[in-house]
């Protein structure tokens, strides 16, 4: 039995899946956080959050590495850790730094930092010749306007250090560019209380379907688990509205996506990581959107597990421990699985969602999760505002996405607009 140190977590799926994988692997963990209430607030009333199954819960300044690293050393001397993990992008580099400080397995901190910072990723991949969009990193409005003229409109404006599509916007003219730039300047601190970088990333607008490549890298060898497709809505934002695994691609496109993801991981120097690499399949070939050095969110890991039997959360635990993960697929009876998200188009208070009982009883539904009446609703501008999701599988082929879209169409959220 191993003892893992978990440094913060996402509050969504991985806050449940990673503790489950640790427990099912016969291990235990200590949870390290600066604010335990951040995780308890979204837990259903009366439910015990899986993070509370930790052997120990430690409170420490996780936003202050200079103070945290000595604290982690003292905790290691007292409790004895075998690995360090995190599922939250904002703490992946910190987890790698702690592992290195304690002499434990784990990816190189510099590689994790380059993967977690979108501007650094762009620079590293460009130097390595891994294809991506034309881009510019801008320190102020004057530089942003000048770079936009050089790249050409329309383009995409991104923060370099936020997640879930937050404040990523398509801009078609200078007025929209100025608005997107102001929105970033008006959001100087992220949801975890960390001060953000003021630089702005501009990227060429890429055309074509978007996919993600799910991989596990251990001892310098990257194994591709498969390719997931993605649907996006909410323009001018980029809100993920659904996914299917495996993606319905030609063999050529699938190979191109897989090969590009492996090249990107190698260029960044990532090792002993699970990664979720997003790629656009443009008419000119695959282009890397971003490399996320952690398991995919939005229940993609569960799509993979339903189709292949491979538990990516368990693989994340194994590589953190420096162990060879079990990535052998087995026949689950499903040929595809898909998820669709209920995306609100307006803000207010949720009165209810019609059709939930009927959808929940459908034979091919794998998961149904719906927000409760009384939930405050915000019109979706990122992947953080969903009203729920439905997941379904197909035993015969790649029909799971069509089935999910039909099930979503049967759900009718009633939102009361408030003033």
Residues 104-108 have a mean pLDDT of: 97
Poorest-pLDDT segment among 45-54, 160-169, 331-340, 364-373: 45-54
Asked if residue 318 and residue 214 are part of one domain, the reply reads yes
pLDDT of residue 381: 86
Q: Count Cβ atoms within 10 A of the Cβ of residue 204 and give its class: 0-12 exposed, 13-18 middle, 19 or more buried.
A: middle
Indicate if 215 and 315 belong to the same structural domain: yes
pLDDT at 150: 96
> SS3 of 217, please?
strand
45 has pLDDT over 60:
no
Is residue 115 within 8 A of residue 123, CB to CB? The reply is: no
With 90 as the cut, is the pLDDT of residue 57 above it? yes
What is the 3-state secondary structure of the chain?
CCEEEEECCCCCCHHHHHHHHHHHCCCEEEEEECCCHHHHCCCCCCCCCHHHHCCEEEECCCCCHHHHHHHHHHHHHHHCCCEEECCCHHHHHHHHHHHHHHCCCCCCHHHHHHHHCHHHHHHHHHHHCCCCCCEEEECCHHHHHHHHHHHCCCEEEEECCCCCCCCCEEECCHHHHHHHHHHHHCCCECCCCCECCCCEEEEECCCCCEEEEEEEEECCEEEEEEEEEEEEECCCECEEEEEEECCCCCHHHHHHHHHHHHHHHHHHCCCCEEEEEEEEEECCEEEEEEEECCCCCCCHHHHHHHHHCCCHHHHHHHHHCCCCCCCCCCCCCCCEEEEEECCCCCCEEEEEEECHHHHHCCCCEEEEEECCCCCEECCCCCCCCCCEEEEEEECCCCCHHHHHHHHHHCCEEEEECCC
Residues 219 and 320 in one domain: yes
Looking at the fold, whether 29 and 66 belong to one and the same domain comes out as: yes
pLDDT at 107 (0 to 100): 97
- What is the tens place of the pLDDT at every residue in 380-412? 888 888 999 999 999 999 999 999 999 999 999
Task: Supply 163's token pair.
Answer: 């997640």
The chain-wide mean pLDDT, for the chain, equals 95
331: its two tokens: 């026949």
Of 204, 235, 251, the position where a domain reaches its end is 204
**Is the residue at 352 inside a domain?**
yes
Q: How confident is the model at residue 419 (pLDDT cuts 50, 70, 90)?
A: low
pLDDT reading at 155 higher than 90: yes
Domain presence at residue 168: yes
Query: Is there a domain that residue 170 lies in?
Result: yes
Same domain for 377 and 300, yes or no, is no
Residue 51 has a CB neighbour count (10 Å cut-off) of: 22
Q: Is there a single domain that holds both residue 380 and residue 363?
A: yes
| The last residue of a domain, from among 172, 204, 236 | 204
> Does residue 42 fall inside a structural domain?
yes
Q: Give the residue among 367, 362, 414, 413 at the shortest CA–CA distance from 390.
A: 367
Tell me if 117 is assigned to some domain: no
What integer pLDDT is reported at residue 42 of this predicted model?
Answer: 58
Q: Which of 153, 185, 204 is the last residue of a domain?
A: 204
Give pLDDT, residue 78: 98
pLDDT 10s digits, 139-153? 999 999 999 999 999
pLDDT over 90 at 49, yes or no: no
Q: Does residue 198 sit in the same domain as residue 237?
A: no
> Quick one: average pLDDT of 182-195?
95
Provide mean pLDDT across the span 334-356. 94
Q: What pLDDT band is residue 39 in, cutting at 50, 70 and 90?
A: confident
Q: Of 309 and 380, which is predicted with more confidence?
A: 309
| Domain with 172 in it | 133-204
Quote the percentage of the chain above a pLDDT of 90: 91
Same domain, 175 and 232: no
Domain assignment present for residue 113? The answer is no
> Residue 81: inside a domain, yes or no?
yes
Residues 291 and 394 in one domain: no
Average pLDDT over residues 248-264: 98
Tens-place pLDDT, residues 59-81: 999 999 999 999 999 999 999 99
Handedness of CA 350, 351, 354, 360 (dihedral sign): positive
pLDDT digits (tens, 9 = 90+) for 201-233: 999 999 999 999 999 999 999 999 999 999 999
Q: Are residues 343 and 401 in the same domain?
A: yes
How far is Cα 318 from Cα 249, in angstroms, rounded to an integer? Answer: 30
144 in a domain, yes or no?
Answer: yes
> Total structural domains in the chain?
4
Which residues are within 8 A (CB) of 44 and not within 5 positions of it... i.e. 6 or more apart? Answer: none
200 & 98 share domain:
no
CATH number reported for the structural domain that contains residue 42 in this entry: 3.40.50.20
Query: Does residue 212 share a domain with residue 196?
Result: no
């Amino acid at each position: 039995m191993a003892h893992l140190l978990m440094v913060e977590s996402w509050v969504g799926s991985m806050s449940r899946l990673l503790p489950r994988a640790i427990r099912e692997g016969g291990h235990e963990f200590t949870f390290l956080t600066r604010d335990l209430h951040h995780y308890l607030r979204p837990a259903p009333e009366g439910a015990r959050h899986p993070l509370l199954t930790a052997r120990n819960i430690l409170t420490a300044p996780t936003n202050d590495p200079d103070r945290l690293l000595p604290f982690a050393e003292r905790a290691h001397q007292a409790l004895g850790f075998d690995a360090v993990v995190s599922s939250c992008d904002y703490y992946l580099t910190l987890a790698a730094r702690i592992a290195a400080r304690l002499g434990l397995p784990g990816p190189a901190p510099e590689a994790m930092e380059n993967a977690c910072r979108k501007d650094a990723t762009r620079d590293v991949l460009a130097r390595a010749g891994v294809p991506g969009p034309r881009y510019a990193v801008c320190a102020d409005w004057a530089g942003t306007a000048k770079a936009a003229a050089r790249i050409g409109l329309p383009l995409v404006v991104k923060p370099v250090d936020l997640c879930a599509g937050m404040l990523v916007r398509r801009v078609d003219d200078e007025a929209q560019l100025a608005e997107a730039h102001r929105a970033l300047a008006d959001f100087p601190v992220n949801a975890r209380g960390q001060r953000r970088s003021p630089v702005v990333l501009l990227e060429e607008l890429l055309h074509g379907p978007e996919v993600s490549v799910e991989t596990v890298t251990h001892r310098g060898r990257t194994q591709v688990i498969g390719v997931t497709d993605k649907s996006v809505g909410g323009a001018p934002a980029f809100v993920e509205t659904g996914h299917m695994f495996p993606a319905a691609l030609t063999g050529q496109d699938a190979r191109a996506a897989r090969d590009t993801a492996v090249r990107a991981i190698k260029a960044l120097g990532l090792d002993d990581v699970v990664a979720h690499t997003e790629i656009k399949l443009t008419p000119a070939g695959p282009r890397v959107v971003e490399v996320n050095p952690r398991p995919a969110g939005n229940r993609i890991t569960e799509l993979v597990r339903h189709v292949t039997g491979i538990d990516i959360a368990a693989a994340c635990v194994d590589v953190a421990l420096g162990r060879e993960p079990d990535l052998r697929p087995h026949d689950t009876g499903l040929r595809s699985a898909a998820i669709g998200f209920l995306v609100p188009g307006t803000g207010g208070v949720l009165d209810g969602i019609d059709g939930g009982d009927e959808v929940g009883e459908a034979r091919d539904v794998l998961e149904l999760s719906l927000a409760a009446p009384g939930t405050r609703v915000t019109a979706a501008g990122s992947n953080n505002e969903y009203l729920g999701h439905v997941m379904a599988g197909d035993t015969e082929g790649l029909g799971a996405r069509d089935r999910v879209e039909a099930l979503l169409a049967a759900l009718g959220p009633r939102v009361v607009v408030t003033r």
